[in-house]
Amino acid sequence: MTAKCIMVQGTGSSVGKSRLVTGLCRVFKQDGFKVAPFKSQNMALNSYITKEGLEIGRAQATQAEACGVEPSVLMNPVLLKPYTDKDSQVIVKGRPFGSLSAMDYHEYKINLMKVVKECYDELARDNDIIVIEGAGSPAEINLRERDIVNMGMADLVDAPVVLVGDIDRGGVFAALAGTLLLLTEEEKARVKGVIINKFRGDLKLLEPGLKMLEDIIKRPVLGVVPYTDIYIDEEDSPEAERTRLLQKNKVHNDYPLQQKPLEVKILSLPRITNFTDFVPLGEFEDIKLSYVSGGPIGDADLVVIPGSENPKESVEFIRTWGWDKEIITFYQKGAVILGIGSSFSLLGKTFTTVSSASSIPGLGLLNMHIKLLPAARTYESAGRGCIWFAQFRQYFKQGTSGGLYNTLWRYNYG
């Protein structure tokens, strides 16, 4: 079996490529096809751990679920996890390959094309259809050379391309027309049509613009997708999740005092990782979950310092905003301070990282000196998150606070 394929590219990041690929995967599955998603290179700090303990982008895991299949590293052979503005950890077929600067990776990535093709071919042998997702925009002309994720990927497997634009952010006609303008003639030939995503309003007002756009770009508008509030895990930034929570938290404002929800504050760190892990916590009606991106933390029963790809940068960021002083005050008053993953090291007196052998001052809440190891142990875990959330609520109902440290440590680290 050699699969047919279709590729979804976008006019930019966060235009809805991942969601449309997810939808196409489910449609093809419902039509009786054996289908799989594919994204050759993903950049995301929200990763998913497969059954083999390997890392892939969370979007591909969601898309695999839509296909009714188990997530696999074949679906996302290259994952980039940035830890500074110019440097990323490179994950190849689910395992750490090393850390490279943006320039070094740009020079090296063409060497990964063989891995990308091998993974794609293996998927294609076992499926009827592969739905491929691009990254960012194919009009990033400075990155055209050595491209392995947009038109370079489409050329590698001879994929027809559908171009997606986001009307909710504005300028969708210019974005679609401008993207096509910057493509080479060979690349333009691959684009079979465009989709306008995240539309809200009266479609009749949009229709004249659709006809004018088709006349300009000489390609059909394949569809207009309405704006929806369907939740799918975010990959790029907690901003969309922050906005969703702001809307959700409005229902808590009229609660009487005796029913006041528990205040949980999550610090929005520059390299925050796996922030989607907190989504289930925000679904409890007696818990008010929100992000702090600047200014004072405010009232809190629990302050969460989420995992980060750069703990040294995190503790510096915390001190810049004066959150370190607030955290110490919260702790002294009996609130819970929870460090997740690498950010647990911030709770100690000092910590060291792989890139910094010298000790870095922590927040000093725990009498320990912590050393972060080069590689984290990754494995799939079922059910423990639900136990943790239930235990968290029960402790607060019993009036317990600081003593939660040891229980959380046992549940999460054995």
> Containing H/E element for 173?
helix 172-181
Q: Say whether both 304 and 221 belong to one domain.
A: no
Nearest alpha carbon to residue 19 among 226, 200, 245: 226
Q: Say whether both 112 and 165 belong to one domain.
A: yes
Structural domain contains residue 162: yes
Q: Say whether both 143 and 183 belong to one domain.
A: yes
pLDDT tens by residue, the chain, 414 residues: 689 999 999 999 989 999 999 999 999 999 999 999 999 999 988 889 999 999 999 999 999 999 999 999 999 999 999 888 899 999 999 999 999 999 999 999 999 999 999 999 999 999 999 999 999 999 999 999 999 999 999 999 999 999 999 999 999 999 999 999 999 999 999 999 999 999 999 999 999 999 999 999 999 999 999 998 776 666 666 666 666 666 666 554 555 555 678 899 999 888 888 777 788 777 787 888 888 988 999 989 999 999 888 889 999 999 999 999 999 999 998 889 999 988 999 999 999 887 777 899 999 999 988 888 776 666 555 554 444 444 444 444 444 444 333 333 333 333
Q: Say whether both 196 and 292 belong to one domain.
A: no
Q: Say whether both 343 and 217 belong to one domain.
A: no
Nearest alpha carbon to residue 233 among 88, 27, 47, 95: 47
Helix (H, G, I), strand (E, B) or coil at 57: strand
CATH number of the domain encompassing residue 104? 3.40.50.300
The number of beta carbons lying within 10 Å of the beta carbon of residue 296 is: 11
Whether the CB-CB separation of 324 and 363 falls below 8 Å is answered with yes
The crossing angle, in degrees rounded to 10, of helices 172-181 and 203-217 is 10
Separation CA 394–CA 211 (nearest Å): 58
> What pLDDT, on a 0 to 100 scale, did the predictor assign at position 384?
47
Separation CA 412–CA 414 (nearest Å): 6
Q: Say whether both 267 and 218 belong to one domain.
A: no
Structural domain contains residue 234: no
Q: Domain residues for 133?
A: 4-226
Strand partners, 126: none
- The domain boundary, picked from 226, 257, 275, lies at 226
Separation CA 383–CA 141 (nearest Å): 45
Q: Say whether both 107 and 139 belong to one domain.
A: yes
Reading the block at residue 410, the tokens are: 């046992």
Q: Say whether both 211 and 245 belong to one domain.
A: no
> What pLDDT, on a 0 to 100 scale, did the predictor assign at position 275?
77
How many domains is the chain partitioned into structurally?
2
> What pLDDT, on a 0 to 100 scale, did the predictor assign at position 233?
66
- Is residue 385 packed enough to be buried (19+ CB in 10 Å), middle (13-18) or exposed (0-12)? middle
Beta-carbon contacts of 157 under 8 Å, excluding residues fewer than 6 positions away, are: 5, 117, 120, 124, 130, 132
Structural domain contains residue 232: no
Q: Say whether both 136 and 33 belong to one domain.
A: yes
Separation CA 293–CA 287 (nearest Å): 19
Backbone angles phi, psi at 72, to 5 degrees: -145, 150
Structural domain contains residue 231: no
Reading the block at residue 262, the tokens are: 């528990």
Structural domain contains residue 390: yes
Whether the CB-CB separation of 378 and 53 falls below 8 Å is answered with yes
CATH number of the domain encompassing residue 390? 3.40.50
> What pLDDT, on a 0 to 100 scale, did the predictor assign at position 243?
64
- Is residue 152 packed enough to be buried (19+ CB in 10 Å), middle (13-18) or exposed (0-12)? buried
Q: Say whether both 134 and 60 belong to one domain.
A: yes
- The domain boundary, picked from 175, 199, 226, lies at 226
> Cα angle at 400 between 397 and 402, to 5 degrees?
140
- The domain boundary, picked from 226, 250, 281, lies at 226
> What pLDDT, on a 0 to 100 scale, did the predictor assign at position 356?
72
Q: Say whether both 139 and 255 belong to one domain.
A: no
Task: Classify residue 383 by its DSSP letter.
Answer: S
pTM value is: 0.77
Structural domain contains residue 233: no
Q: Say whether both 313 and 258 belong to one domain.
A: yes
> What pLDDT, on a 0 to 100 scale, did the predictor assign at position 276?
77
